[in-house]
Amino acid sequence: MAAAQERNGFWIGFDIGAGLLGTSASGTVGSVFSNDRGWTGGSGLGLGWTLNPHLLAGIELRSMGWNWWAAGMEGELIASNLSGILTYYPRATSGFYIKGGLGGTFLDISAFHRGLS
């Protein structure tokens, strides 16, 4: 029989990765947004507390950004997600878990015209 994994106290996690982020606009004339998508880096931070060997509670923040250029404009698009999470381990001896959460995603877009003095 496998020994139970020790889960107690404060926990913290970090992650980095890559993904696609982009812009699109339909039904607009002269939109600065083209239907464009690009690879970008992303990162995340999670922290919380162990309630018992089967249940962890915490928050996670994930973010990724993308620089875009279109129609004489350039800008930056940043997408961030903040969630409260619960992670449940059905068996203390297993690394299998089920994670769920509730949160919101925030989008920040900045744009300016290239070539203006």
Question: Is the pLDDT higher at 74 or at 82?
Answer: 82
Residue 58 included in any domain: yes
Domain that holds residue 100: 10-22+36-113
In whole numbers, what is the pLDDT of the chain averaged over residues?
A: 83
Residue 29 included in any domain: no
For the full predicted model, state whether its pTM sits above 0.75. Answer: no
Query: CA torsion angle for 30, 35, 36, 42 (degrees, to 10)?
Result: 110
Residue 78 included in any domain: yes
Per the CB < 8 A criterion, the answer to whether 72 and 113 are in contact is: yes
Residue 76 included in any domain: yes
Whether residue 3 is predicted with pLDDT greater than 70 in this model: the reply is no
Model confidence at 117, pLDDT cuts 50, 70, 90, reads very low
Residue 31 included in any domain: no
Residue 16 included in any domain: yes
Residue 82 included in any domain: yes
Average pLDDT over every residue of 27-36: 58
Per the CB < 8 A criterion, the answer to whether 45 and 61 are in contact is: yes
How many structural domains is the chain composed of?
1
Residue 108 included in any domain: yes
